[in-house]
Amino acid sequence: MKIDTVGVNHHPNYRHALVYNSADVLDWDEAHHSRYKLVLVLDGTGLISCGAHVYPLIAPAFYCLNELDELKCISGGHLTVCSLFFHPGLINAKFELGGEYPPSEALLSPPEWSLSDQQDQWCLEPFIERSDAYSGCIPTDSATARYALSIMEAIGEQLASQPDYHWPCRSRTYLLELLYLTSRKYRQADSFPEQLRAAEIQLEGSTEVKERIDAVIRYLHTRYAEKIRIDQLARIFHTNKTTLNQQFKRYTGTTVMAYLNQVRMQTAGAMLRNTLLPKDEIMLRIGIRDAAHFLRHFRKFAGYTPTEYRNRFCWMLQS
């Protein structure tokens, strides 16, 4: 099984530890022991085995597998599955294979790790954490699954065409985007943070409101690269600006646009820490068209300008 993408015209013979498979069949072989695997099941029914356990196949869903997991399809039909193989060191050079799952506290956050290392680890927790209730499967909705597929296809295009000098960094930014999306879905499936639980109790008896705010949150996490206005959201979700903001703040503790800005800045921070992609391209990737606006909001978010932040925290510059 192919586990690396090899550079051809740009970065000849460079081995990039990321591979896209557009038609996975949920099999398993020894090469899986050298990579993490993110599986997106778009459609299908059947049974799968993970280690000694058997589960019904869930679709749409993410399956986040570490190098020790052995996922196989026992029986199934009409499967539509794609996947990514990647080495965790692609996210951060300090991340390695060969850990224990679930890891001890000392392994999960070693004392020598910086804050940025811990932030990078966050997006890999769905591959690392294991419990009786969680074995790697994260059910999702059709809209999120379609968005995840578009990111995977963008990765596949970069790996196949290698269009310019930045193809390794660009494919890595798409991977980071996908991993952050997966981590957010993991936390939603696992449990809400305390403040959201409290808000959910307050909204009890108003299923329509809760479903609307959940839908708005999904929209923001999957469409943040687009131009988004509060009046546009109000029309899409059949309410008005004032009511939407009031309900959203009650549920999340912040306004709609402040939440969107936080999602954008977190995504930009991850790209600055983990790639050398030009800052202008990062700005466009998160849905901002004005450089002064990006500079102002990122400095407020991180305490540094984008350039200062990259110089201080980007492990690729330090290595």
User: Span 91-115, mean pLDDT?
Assistant: 72
Q: Residue 140 pLDDT > 70, yes or no?
A: yes
* The predicted structure's pLDDT at residue 99: 66
User: Span 106-123, mean pLDDT?
Assistant: 76
Task: At 124, list the tokens.
Answer: 């890999």
Nearest Cα neighbor of 66 from 32, 21, 23 is 32
Higher pLDDT, 76 or 95: 95
Nearest Cα neighbor of 234 from 222, 225, 242 is 242
Q: Residue 202 pLDDT > 60, yes or no?
A: no
pLDDT band for position 77 (50/70/90)? low
* The predicted structure's pLDDT at residue 244: 94
Higher pLDDT, 28 or 86: 86
Highest mean pLDDT of the ranges 46-55, 76-85, 276-285: 276-285
pLDDT band for position 197 (50/70/90)? very low
3-state secondary structure of 28: coil
Highest mean pLDDT of the ranges 8-17, 30-39, 273-282: 8-17
User: Span 77-82, mean pLDDT?
Assistant: 80
**160 vs 172: CA distance, rounded Å:** 14
**119 vs 74: CA distance, rounded Å:** 36
Q: Residue 30 pLDDT > 70, yes or no?
A: yes
User: Residue 88 has what DSSP assignment?
Assistant: G
pLDDT band for position 7 (50/70/90)? very high
pLDDT band for position 190 (50/70/90)? very low
Q: How many C-beta atoms surround the C-beta of residue 74 within 10 A?
A: 12
* The predicted structure's pLDDT at residue 206: 67
Q: What's the CATH architecture for 5-141? A: Sandwich (2.60)
* The predicted structure's pLDDT at residue 136: 87
pLDDT band for position 200 (50/70/90)? very low
Do residues 130 and 51 touch, judged by C-beta distance below 8 A? Answer: no
Residues in the chain: 319
Angle at 95 between CA 27 and CA 145, to 5 degrees: 45
How do the domains of the chain map onto residue ranges? 5-141, 194-254, 259-318
* The predicted structure's pLDDT at residue 141: 77
Q: Residue 63 pLDDT > 70, yes or no?
A: yes
Q: Residue 296 pLDDT > 70, yes or no?
A: yes
Task: At 82, list the tokens.
Answer: 């794609």
Q: Residue 18 pLDDT > 60, yes or no?
A: yes
Mean pLDDT across the chain: 84
User: Span 292-311, mean pLDDT?
Assistant: 93
Number of H helices, E strands in the chain: 14, 8
**47 vs 55: CA distance, rounded Å:** 6
If you classify domain 259-318 with CATH, what class do you get? mainly alpha
φ and ψ at residue 42, rounded to 5 degrees: -90, -35
**15 vs 243: CA distance, rounded Å:** 52
Please count the CA atoms within 13 angstroms of the CA of 154 that sit on its side-chain side: 17
Q: Write the pLDDT tens digit of every residue in 223-234.
A: 888 999 999 999
* The predicted structure's pLDDT at residue 31: 72
Q: Write the pLDDT tens digit of every residue in 149-167.
A: 999 999 999 999 999 999 9
